[in-house]
Amino acid sequence: MPASASTSSATLDANSWTDLVGTLPLGGPAKELAAHAGFLGYDAGVLRLSLSSGDDHLKAPGLVKRLADALAPHLGGAPQIRFEEQAAGGETLHQRNARERDARQVAAEQAFLADPDVQRLMQRHGATVVPDSIRPFDDA
């Protein structure tokens, strides 16, 4: 979703939430709050989010206000943000990024180990691959 697109309560769901928070002009801890917050619902100007107990430190009033202010152009006004202790309906931006990073890592390892030259070195010379030494190109 482009950063300039408006999101109404009718279209804001767990998937669009993850896409939206990835476009917000936030940095530092406020960006981490947005990335770790799971979407629960949005109605009548109230945005309900979940946050794991390990991330409770991100609920500082200043960070919550920065998140609300960043969301204002997309929601037609700064929402009242309410945190609830329940599982979100979808994955958070942080979880999605971790899943995608892990998938890229597995693909890089498989591609490297399937390379004919690597196979030849392993078979002929007893070469071994050092664990965690393979990185996807985008992590370099």
pLDDT in tens for each of the 140 residues of the chain? 444 444 544 478 888 999 999 999 999 999 999 999 999 999 999 999 999 888 889 999 999 999 999 999 999 999 999 998 877 667 888 888 889 898 999 889 899 999 999 999 999 999 998 878 998 887 54
pTM for the model stands at 0.67
Cβ-based burial of 10 (10 A; exposed 0-12, middle 13-18, buried ≥19) = exposed
Q: What is the pLDDT of residue 89?
A: 66
Domain boundaries, the chain: 14-84, 93-130
Cβ-based burial of 15 (10 A; exposed 0-12, middle 13-18, buried ≥19) = middle
> Cβ(93)–Cβ(60) under 8 Å?
no
Complete DSSP assignment for 12-24: --HHHHHHHHTTS
The span from the CA of 65 to the CA of 82, in Å, is: 12
Q: What is the pLDDT of residue 139?
A: 54
Q: What is the pLDDT of residue 53?
A: 83
Q: What is the pLDDT of residue 3?
A: 41
Q: What is the CATH number of domain 14-84?
A: 3.30.300.150
Q: What is the pLDDT of residue 5?
A: 45
Closest CA relative to residue 42, chosen from 81, 87, 80, 9: 9
Q: What is the pLDDT of residue 9?
A: 47
